[in-house]
Structure 1
Amino acid sequence: MSLAHTILGFLQQEKMTGYDLKTSCFDRCIAPLWSADQAQIYRTLDKLVGQGWITCTVEIQHDRPNRKVYNMTEAGKAELIRWLQCPQPLPTLREPLIVQLFFAAQLPNEAIVQLLEQQLTARNEKLAKCKNVELPMLGDRFTSREQMMQKLVLDLVIRREQTYIDWLMTAIDVIRHQRDGEIGEQGSRGEF
């Protein structure tokens, strides 16, 4: 996924500053999906201005530093539409914990369980953050098609985290009930 296209997606909704993009959009809205630090956002904004996909207007402020406000151009809208219509390849997930577990047979069970429990804690925290993302809705009804799409994405992220949590709990249970170095009857066939 492209940081540039993510920024274009936010700027299609309204013009905003780099600071607004970081705090209101990346930190509060899509943190479970995509993260970016302030420096990455500002570098990408400069590139987008250079490509003609957004403009930058300096707003003079007398009591504070001047603000750079970014707005999407027609060329930027066209690029966002082009990107939205492109099928995306399946990502290659690189999860260090999974690779650790692949080789973890050399560790005692308690050490493996500890790794899994640490991940379980982190995943539960992420799930709680996902569930606390606030999408503006009127009761159970969406106020816009855009909000409906955002809700569908958020539901997927929540389900994915819950599935990972369920798997971690199963893995912890399986390892706790095995003696170090022992393979159960079914374990040799890849079943639990």
Structure 2
Amino acid sequence: MDVRTMCLGLLVKQEATGYEIKKAITNGHASIFYDASLGAIYPALNRLTEDGLVTCEELSQDKRPDKKVYRITTKGMNTFEMALLQPPTADKFRSDFLAAMFFCGQMPESRLVEILDEREEFHADRLAALKELEQESQSVGETFLTRYAMMYHASNVQFLKENRYLLEADQNEDDNAEAVQ
């Protein structure tokens, strides 16, 4: 989903400033599946405004710059609904962790163990945070999304616990082969 469509979707839920949209993407349920910077959000909001898909109201604030509050229009709602009718594209998956594991034979065993420990801790921490986020779910979609992410992180923790020996054993074999030479 492109950033414009994501902004429309969040504005369907409620009016918001660009900062509030960023906060929803960073800290809310959307953080489970989406990431966008303010550098992408504000140009998207400007374009949505130009295209008549959202309105922007500037509210003055004491001792602060004016606040721009965005609201979705009927045209924006129709555009968002049409976007939801399109089949989702295939998920794109990129992982620095898996890239490091692909090349783990070229790293010291101590670094491999450290990376595996850090990754397991990351998934365990994320799982705990998601359990808290689930309590804030206000729709069936948010509950489904949160549980999906919880299963993802729980299975990662389990997989790492059960399979790290494969990499560590391979690393020990490499260390033994180097010692013989």
Is TM more than 0.5 here? yes
Distance in 2, Cα, partners of 1:39 & 1:179? 42
Normalising by structure 2, what TM-score? 0.83
Q: Once the two structures are superposed, what CA deviation does each residue of 1:82-115 show, in whole Å capped at 9, x if it has no partner? A: 1111111222311122122223234444432222
Larger mean CA deviation between 34-43 and 155-164 belongs to 34-43
Q: What percentage of residue pairs aligned between the two structures are identical?
A: 22
Distance in 1, Cα, partners of 2:51 & 2:135? 31
Normalising by structure 1, what TM-score? 0.78
Report the CA distance shift for 1:60/1:175 in structure 2 as closer, same or farther (over 3 A): closer
Q: Does the Cα contact within 8 Å between 1:130 and 1:157 map onto a contact in 2?
A: yes
Which runs of structure 2 are paired with 1:1-192 in the superposition (5 Å)?
A: 1-23=1-23, 25-29=24-28, 30-62=30-62, 64-133=64-133, 136=136, 147-176=139-168, 180-181=172-173
Q: Does the Cα contact within 8 Å between 2:18 and 2:41 map onto a contact in 1?
A: yes
TM-aligned CA deviation for residue 63 of structure 1 = 5.4
Q: Secondary structure at the match of 2:91?
A: coil
Distance in 2, Cα, partners of 1:11 & 1:71? 6
Report the CA distance shift for 1:41/1:92 in structure 2 as closer, same or farther (over 3 A): closer
Structure 2 unaligned segments of length 5 or more: list them.
Answer: 175-181
Q: Does the Cα contact within 8 Å between 2:134 and 2:146 map onto a contact in 1?
A: no
Q: Secondary structure at the match of 1:11?
A: helix
Q: Secondary structure at the match of 1:133?
A: helix
Larger mean CA deviation between 124-133 and 168-177 belongs to 168-177
TM-aligned CA deviation for residue 161 of structure 1 = 1.1
TM-aligned CA deviation for residue 18 of structure 1 = 1.3
Report the CA distance shift for 1:76/1:104 in structure 2 as closer, same or farther (over 3 A): same
Higher relative helix content: 2
Distance in 2, Cα, partners of 1:20 & 1:72? 15
Q: Does the Cα contact within 8 Å between 2:134 and 2:143 map onto a contact in 1?
A: no
Structure 1 unaligned segments of length 5 or more: list them.
Answer: 183-192
Distance in 1, Cα, partners of 2:49 & 2:117? 45
Q: Does the Cα contact within 8 Å between 1:127 and 1:161 map onto a contact in 2?
A: yes
